[in-house]
Chains A and B, each alone.
Chain A
């Protein structure tokens, strides 16, 4: 009986008694959700174009952030460092296509997946050799990102809005919308969808596979850089940041590996869900720390009952 009360009554009593905390939780869930969506988007772009699950997306987040901070540390102004970092990500995209994707074209998916594990190790080692393993501060203020916070009074309590969180949500939303439009409404977007459907058919109608791959790997690099800046502003730039990308896995399972709207909705569901669950159910019932597994349980349930995700394409194969 006590357990039922803890599950069905007490959480809602707390929500009612502390509306400021509920609003704060929803805000934190929204901010995390948009960032999860952003990271998941990097995976979706590459998966759509090549059918490859890019294991290196997490380290790309770290590598991009390290490049930005490392170039700035050489005395380069922040905005120029940002442009140079985009150049590095473009070079990375071209190198991956030239040395990994092209030689492995038409190979089984697992081979391509393994190759992205190889890319991960190269970026980890390269990043550590060039920039060292020590954590570094993100150049938040130098990039013109806001600091400080605003406070909203609610029923005697307060809701705190960090300006960097507001900026993160806006930047992530703009980037997601921009990429969604780019890949849905432009010629390159249509070419991307053709490549995703069938490499050889796309080649036969004159679509340059190489060009599309460079575009999507670069787009994934831009997403990684943005995610790196916004996430590192909340903590620091260190190699531990790459595990954040693991959170994109349940987002992808939820939203579908091929759906940009799915990545957005999936990210928000995970963001809101894990914050609300941890605060109102996780701590009283399980002692907290549920954030590290809650999203994966949701993903597991989806795999059992809707393996294609909310927006993924249902796979029908002729036997």
Chain B
């Protein structure tokens, strides 16, 4: 009898939990957050998830949400695992999810085919499938502010601006997974056009912290510059190994996943001079960040330590939330509805305006380059800047560098055409 009672109580408890997690009030908007606070990449996943949630919570506290609708952030732990990411997607999509931000190229690739079926867009902010930038072919996927290919073209332009790239040898060290291999087609294309030679140095996930053989190869090949497409523990190990073989640190550039505080703090002084691409501001000297501190952090509603506010990955998560918030507002305006759907959100992601005036208005002047959202261009041709590690912090050292759109766009279109050609029943859109 007692056993039955306990089982019954447990069943009621589970049922009521399900009820709580699946029904949201009419005046709320549900934003899933596929986070990874555990696993090998938790060092990046934790601050990103914090920045993402804190911005929405700030909008709730300061403005009462967006357009009168409160924002509910539903976090689901993926541990950066594609299978768990899909499980999170399936578990949360029924909650009225507006868009998914997977924070993993592996999860993004899984969700791209699901997005048009469930009518929930995917925003892979600066990562994922580069070809998704072609809006006509990928109506439901976005990668503002710049795809990996655009970013690589900006990095190559930066190298060119530092004494020329022609005749130089570029070493490309990359995590040997889909993410790391993503810019290789662009390197193959641009090497003959820009007159440089490139050599790849793959690093397996199991070898992220065991790179001595890789850097022996670097020493043998003697590249003029090194570019890193690394993540997690791979970055500090690579920078330490570079210092060990006395590779000039100011000729070593990481992408925007290879230049967070968590990456260089364990390296410290040895990493002085190392550079990385970035597209979101560093620090808290922005009114929006101050509002987050005032309304969320100081109110005890943030999971982030106060010292972490303003760091690279925290601000990146926050910037992701900014794009989402702008798209929500645009969707509400376009549809006249407060409680929008995933389909409305897709429209918002194609029509929001984040120009310099709007950045100033929301308290993020100078934080990032303006984004031009459109039906045709789902990456917005965003620019990046280069930051440099001074031994204890990142300092911005370049102006904004626009991507080589004239070269990158035809390649993106070609890749998008190929992807779509391999699918059955794939729906494209016409952008007029």
Interface residues of A (CB under 8 A from B): 14, 18, 21, 24-25, 28, 31-32, 124, 128, 132-138, 149, 160, 162, 231, 234-241, 243-244, 246-247, 274-275, 278-279, 283, 287-289, 291-293
Decide: A134 and B204 in contact? CB cutoff 8 A: no
Decide: B210 and A236 in contact? CB cutoff 8 A: no
Residue B38 is within 8 A (CB to CB) of chain A in the complex: yes
Question: For residue B37, which residues in chain A have a CB less than 8 angstroms away from its CB?
Answer: 128, 133
CB of B185, distance to nearest CB on chain A (Å): 16
Question: For residue B216, which residues in chain A have a CB less than 8 angstroms away from its CB?
Answer: 21, 24-25, 28, 275, 278-279
CB of B272, distance to nearest CB on chain A (Å): 14
Decide: B210 and A287 in contact? CB cutoff 8 A: no
B236 touches which one: A124, A236, A246 (CB < 8 A)? A236
CB of A13, distance to nearest CB on chain B (Å): 13
Residue B176 is within 8 A (CB to CB) of chain A in the complex: yes
Distance in angstroms between the alpha carbons of A239 and B207 in the assembled complex: 13
Name the interface size band of chain B.
35 or more
Residue B246 is within 8 A (CB to CB) of chain A in the complex: yes
How many residue pairs link A and B with beta carbons under 8 A? The number is 133
Residue B217 is within 8 A (CB to CB) of chain A in the complex: yes
From A137, A162, A274, A292, residue with most partner B Cβ within 10 Å: A292
Distance in angstroms between the alpha carbons of A160 and B245 in the assembled complex: 7
B265 touches which one: A24, A25, A137, A247 (CB < 8 A)? A137
Known: A32-B210, A279-B216, A288-B201. A239 touches B40 (CB 8 A): yes
A-B contact pairs, 22 of them (CB 8 A): A14-B220, A18-B220, A21-B220, A28-B216, A134-B262, A137-B265, A160-B245, A160-B246, A235-B266, A236-B237, A240-B232, A243-B40, A246-B206, A247-B206, A275-B213, A275-B216, A278-B213, A278-B214, A279-B213, A279-B216, A283-B220, A289-B207
Decide: B217 and A240 in contact? CB cutoff 8 A: no
Question: For residue A133, which residues in chain B have a CB less than 8 angstroms away from its CB?
Answer: 37-39, 42-43, 45-46
Known: A128-B38, A133-B38. A235 touches B217 (CB 8 A): no
Decide: A240 and B40 in contact? CB cutoff 8 A: yes
Question: For residue B207, which residues in chain A have a CB less than 8 angstroms away from its CB?
Answer: 289, 291-292
Residue B284 is within 8 A (CB to CB) of chain A in the complex: no
Distance in angstroms between the alpha carbons of A287 and B217 in the assembled complex: 11
Known: A234-B240, A243-B206. A135 touches B213 (CB 8 A): no
Distance in angstroms between the alpha carbons of A183 and B327 in the assembled complex: 66
Decide: B244 and A134 in contact? CB cutoff 8 A: no
B209 touches which one: A31, A136, A244 (CB < 8 A)? A244
Residue B146 is within 8 A (CB to CB) of chain A in the complex: no
Residue B351 is within 8 A (CB to CB) of chain A in the complex: no
Task: Tell me the chain B residues, 258-281 only, with Cβ under 8 Å from chain A.
Answer: 262, 265-268
Decide: A137 and B266 in contact? CB cutoff 8 A: yes
Decide: A287 and B200 in contact? CB cutoff 8 A: yes
Question: For residue A241, which residues in chain B have a CB less than 8 angstroms away from its CB?
Answer: 209, 233
Question: For residue A21, which residues in chain B have a CB less than 8 angstroms away from its CB?
Answer: 216, 219-220
Residue B212 is within 8 A (CB to CB) of chain A in the complex: yes
Residue B205 is within 8 A (CB to CB) of chain A in the complex: yes
Distance in angstroms between the alpha carbons of A82 and B245 in the assembled complex: 30
Proximity bits, B11-38, A CB within 8 Å = 1, else 0: 0000000000000000000000000011
Residue B293 is within 8 A (CB to CB) of chain A in the complex: no
Question: For residue B283, which residues in chain A have a CB less than 8 angstroms away from its CB?
Answer: none
Question: For residue A292, which residues in chain B have a CB less than 8 angstroms away from its CB?
Answer: 176, 204-207
CB of A30, distance to nearest CB on chain B (Å): 11
A-B pairs, top 8 by smallest CB distance, nearest first, are A133-B42, A292-B204, A289-B202, A236-B266, A240-B40, A235-B237, A137-B266, A240-B233
Distance in angstroms between the alpha carbons of A289 and B246 in the assembled complex: 22
Known: A137-B266, A243-B205, A287-B200. A278 touches B237 (CB 8 A): no
CB of B79, distance to nearest CB on chain A (Å): 10
Decide: B237 and A239 in contact? CB cutoff 8 A: no
Decide: B40 and A288 in contact? CB cutoff 8 A: no
CB of A37, distance to nearest CB on chain B (Å): 14
Of chain A, the residue at the smallest CB distance from B174 is A289
Proximity bits, B410-430, A CB within 8 Å = 1, else 0: 000000000000000000000
CB of B361, distance to nearest CB on chain A (Å): 34
Of chain A, the residue at the smallest CB distance from B204 is A292
Known: A240-B209, A292-B204. A134 touches B43 (CB 8 A): yes
Question: For residue A291, which residues in chain B have a CB less than 8 angstroms away from its CB?
Answer: 204, 207, 210, 213-214
Distance in angstroms between the alpha carbons of A237 and B45 in the assembled complex: 16
Residue B203 is within 8 A (CB to CB) of chain A in the complex: yes
From A133, A149, A244, A279, residue with most partner B Cβ within 10 Å: A133
Decide: B202 and A287 in contact? CB cutoff 8 A: yes
From A132, A160, A238, A279, residue with most partner B Cβ within 10 Å: A238
Decide: B266 and A128 in contact? CB cutoff 8 A: no
Distance in angstroms between the alpha carbons of A241 and B220 in the assembled complex: 27
CB of B40, distance to nearest CB on chain A (Å): 4
Decide: B233 and A235 in contact? CB cutoff 8 A: yes
Distance in angstroms between the alpha carbons of A31 and B241 in the assembled complex: 14
Decide: B42 and A283 in contact? CB cutoff 8 A: no
Decide: A240 and B208 in contact? CB cutoff 8 A: yes
CB of B409, distance to nearest CB on chain A (Å): 29
Question: For residue B246, which residues in chain A have a CB less than 8 angstroms away from its CB?
Answer: 160
Of chain B, the residue at the smallest CB distance from A134 is B43
Decide: B236 and A160 in contact? CB cutoff 8 A: no
Decide: B202 and A288 in contact? CB cutoff 8 A: yes
Question: For residue B201, which residues in chain A have a CB less than 8 angstroms away from its CB?
Answer: 288-289
Decide: A234 and B237 in contact? CB cutoff 8 A: yes
Distance in angstroms between the alpha carbons of A294 and B267 in the assembled complex: 29
Question: For residue A283, which residues in chain B have a CB less than 8 angstroms away from its CB?
Answer: 217, 220
Decide: A149 and B212 in contact? CB cutoff 8 A: no
Decide: B42 and A247 in contact? CB cutoff 8 A: no
From A128, A274, A288, residue with most partner B Cβ within 10 Å: A288
Distance in angstroms between the alpha carbons of A157 and B266 in the assembled complex: 30
A135 touches which one: B43, B176, B212, B244 (CB < 8 A)? B43
Question: For residue B200, which residues in chain A have a CB less than 8 angstroms away from its CB?
Answer: 287-288
Distance in angstroms between the alpha carbons of A104 and B266 in the assembled complex: 41
CB of B239, distance to nearest CB on chain A (Å): 9
Decide: A28 and B233 in contact? CB cutoff 8 A: no
Question: For residue B237, which residues in chain A have a CB less than 8 angstroms away from its CB?
Answer: 234-236
Question: For residue A31, which residues in chain B have a CB less than 8 angstroms away from its CB?
Answer: 212
Proximity bits, B31-66, A CB within 8 Å = 1, else 0: 000000111111101100000000000000000000
